[in-house]
C-alpha cells in the first residue's frame, strides 16, 4: 500500500499487531488463558460433531431449534430438514463473506502514512481505517451501513423469535414446564445479547472507537467468550446430547 507523505514517501507492505501491549508482564499468563479458552471451545464443538455423527437422531429433535420446537411443534419434523439447515448455514457464510467483499477493496486502496502499528489483537477494520492518512469517509459510511445491517437485523429477528417463544411459554399450564423453558431461553438470550451488544458497540456505536482498550475488551467478548459459551449453552447442556456422549464414552473409554 503506497504511503504519500511529502518527499519521504515509503511503501507500507505490512502491519504490526500490538495486541495487549500494556500487559507485557502478564503476556505468558494471558497467552495461557486464551490458549485454554481456545482448546475448550474447540473441544466443545468437536464433541457436538461427534455426538451428531454417532447418533444423527438428536439433530432432528427440539434440542436444536427452540422457536419451531416451542411455537410450531407439529411442523418441526417437516420444516427442519437437512436441506433447510444446510441452506441456513450457507446463507450465514455467504452474508459474512459479502460484507467483507464490499469493504476490503475500498480499504486496500486507502493511503497509509507513518504508522503501521494496529492497536488491536487482530486485523480489524476500524483500527486499520484509523491508520490511513487519506479521506476515509467513503469507506466509513459503507462500513457503518453494512455493520448496522449485519448486526441489527439478525438481533431484531432473534428478539422477535424469543418474544414469540416467551408468549408461547406463558400459555404452558405446568409451572415446572414454564420454569424449565424460561431457564433455557434466558441463558440463550443472555448469550445473544452479549454477542450482538458488543458487536454493535464496536462496529456501529462510535463510543468504543475513542478508547482502544474498551474496543479490545468488547472484541474479546464477541470473539473469545461467546464462542466458548455457545456449545455449552446451546447443545452440551441438552439431556439427549449428554446421554449420547455418556453412551459413546462408555463404549469407547479410551
The candidate with the shortest Cα–Cα distance to 226, out of 180, 188, 200, is 188
In the CATH hierarchy, which top-level class contains the domain 16-248?
mainly alpha
E strand spans, the chain: 16-17, 117-118
pLDDT digits (tens, 9 = 90+) for 125-183: 888 888 888 888 888 888 888 888 888 888 898 888 888 888 888 887 777 777 777 77
Record the pTM: 0.76
- How many Cβ atoms from other residues are within 10 Å of residue 15's Cβ? 17
Instruction: Classify residue 162 as left (phi > 0), alpha (psi -120 to 50) or beta.
Output: alpha
More confident residue, 249 or 224: 224
224: DSSP letter: I
> What is the spatial distance between Cα 195 and Cα 226, in angstroms, rounded to a whole number?
6
- C-alpha torsion sign, points 108, 112, 116, 120: negative
More confident residue, 35 or 210: 35
Amino acid at each position: 500500500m503506497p504511503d504519500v507523505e511529502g518527499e519521504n514517501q515509503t511503501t507500507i507492505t505490512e502491519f504490526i499487531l500490538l495486541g495487549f501491549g500494556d500487559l507485557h508482564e502478564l503476556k505468558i499468563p494471558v497467552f495461557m488463558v486464551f490458549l485454554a479458552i481456545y482448546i475448550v471451545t474447540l473441544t466443545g464443538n468437536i464433541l457436538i460433531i461427534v455426538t451428531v455423527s454417532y447418533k444423527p437422531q438428536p439433530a432432528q429433535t427440539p434440542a436444536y431449534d427452540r422457536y419451531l420446537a416451542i411455537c410450531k411443534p407439529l411442523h418441526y419434523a417437516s420444516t427442519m430438514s437437512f436441506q433447510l439447515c444446510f441452506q441456513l448455514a450457507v446463507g450465514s457464510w455467504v452474508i459474512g463473506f459479502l460484507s467483507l467483499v464490499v469493504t476490503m477493496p475500498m480499504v486496500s486502496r486507502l493511503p497509509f502514512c507513518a504508522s503501521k502499528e494496529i492497536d488491536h489483537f487482530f486485523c480489524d477494520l476500524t483500527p486499520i481505517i484509523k491508520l490511513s492518512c487519506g479521506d476515509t469517509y467513503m469507506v466509513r459510511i459503507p462500513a457503518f451501513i453494512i455493520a448496522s445491517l449485519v448486526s441489527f437485523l439478525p438481533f431484531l429477528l432473534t428478539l422477535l423469535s424469543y418474544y414469540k417463544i416467551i408468549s408461547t411459554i406463558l400459555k404452558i399450564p405446568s409451572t415446572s414446564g414454564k420454569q424449565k423453558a424460561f431457564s433455557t431461553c434466558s441463558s440463550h438470550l443472555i448469550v445473544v445479547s452479549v454477542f450482538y451488544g458488543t458487536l454493535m458497540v464496536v462496529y456501529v456505536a462510535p463510543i468504543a472507537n475513542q478508547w482502544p482498550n474498551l474496543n479490545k475488551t468488547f472484541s474479546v467478548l464477541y470473539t473469545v467468550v461467546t464462542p466458548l459459551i455457545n456449545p455449552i449453552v446451546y447443545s452440551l447442556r441438552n439431556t439427549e446430547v449428554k446421554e449420547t456422549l455418556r453412551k459413546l464414552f462408555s463404549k469407547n473409554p479410551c
